[in-house]
Amino acid sequence: MVPGGSQGAAAATSAQRKLKVLALHGYLQNADVFRSRTGALRKALKKHCEFVFVNAPHHIQVDLQGNDIVSCDGDDHAKCYGWWLAGPEGGPPREAKSAKGWETSLGVLEETLRREGPFDGLLGFSMGAAASALLCAAIESKRVSCHDQFKFALLFGGFVPRDPVLAESLRDAKLSIPSIHYSGLSDELVVADRSRELVGCFSEGVATFESHPQGHCIPSLREVREKCKAFVADRTNP
């Protein structure tokens, strides 16, 4: 008989379990694009994590001049999505004072947690980083019923939405999830102060703010990969 028997085998299986990470893409991206743009980071974390990439529910059609047009016909050829849309005032959703459609996205994410969870971590970029924090706030306030989710978050280019209701929900939450927040020194879309504002929505001591020398992206830099790898390794089951 093998020493330890079935209990030893169960312990070994538990020790080998990878952390499941929910990955939320940025505005005008989709799950497949986000998967391809996180290749270097995923490779660094492959020993510890498996990733589940999800499309936001709001399809955006982009015209030849680069203007965002909401598509209502279900045409999926552009494959550009958002977690919310700008309200009547228009402009880019990250600057809009109303976040049209966020409740629909929250429902999609809650269903994802039920169907594919529980999840151990979050990976979010830009609007996806903001959506990650909003999802955590909804869980902590019990607006979303799927509890026991998320031991950590890796957030790149994140921000607090301008929508006052969503902004207040984040500030009031004081999220307790350990997180790293990266901001690009050359990022002109989401400046560092906006990412620092998101850090302020987390409880003191659980969120770390980091800079990288590139723009609005998830960089493939070795120092970023290694820091994220060490951060996640600390949360891997022993």
Active site (annotated) includes residue 187: yes
Per-residue pLDDT of 132-170, as tens digits, reads: 999 999 999 999 988 788 999 999 999 999 999 999 999
Active site (annotated) includes residue 126: yes
**Nearest CA among 134, 205, 142 for reference residue 171:** 134
Q: Is residue 192 part of a domain?
A: yes
Q: Is residue 39 part of a domain?
A: yes
Q: Is residue 6 part of a domain?
A: no
Query: pLDDT confidence of 216, banded at 50, 70, 90?
Result: very high
Q: To the nearest whole number, what is the mean pLDDT of the chain?
A: 88
Q: Is residue 87 part of a domain?
A: yes
Q: Is residue 223 part of a domain?
A: yes
| Mean pLDDT across 174-202 | 96
Q: Give the least confident one: 65-74, 89-98, 146-155.
A: 65-74
Q: What is the pLDDT of residue 101?
A: 96
Number of domains in the chain: 1
**Marked catalytic residue, from 71, 211, 216, 220:** 216
Domain that holds residue 79: 19-233
**Marked catalytic residue, from 98, 126, 169, 179:** 126
| Mean pLDDT across 77-88 | 85
Question: In Å, how far are 14, 48, 62, 97, 160 from 88, measured between CA atoms?
Answer: 50, 43, 18, 9, 20
**Marked catalytic residue, from 98, 181, 187, 212:** 187
DSSP β-bridge partners for residue 122: 22, 153
Q: Is residue 8 part of a domain?
A: no
- Do the Cβ atoms of 228 and 41 come closer than 8 Å? yes
Active site (annotated) includes residue 216: yes
pTM assigned to the model: 0.88
> Does the pLDDT value for residue 9 go beyond 90?
no
For position 53, which CATH number holds? 3.40.50.1820
Q: Is residue 5 part of a domain?
A: no
Q: Is residue 191 part of a domain?
A: yes
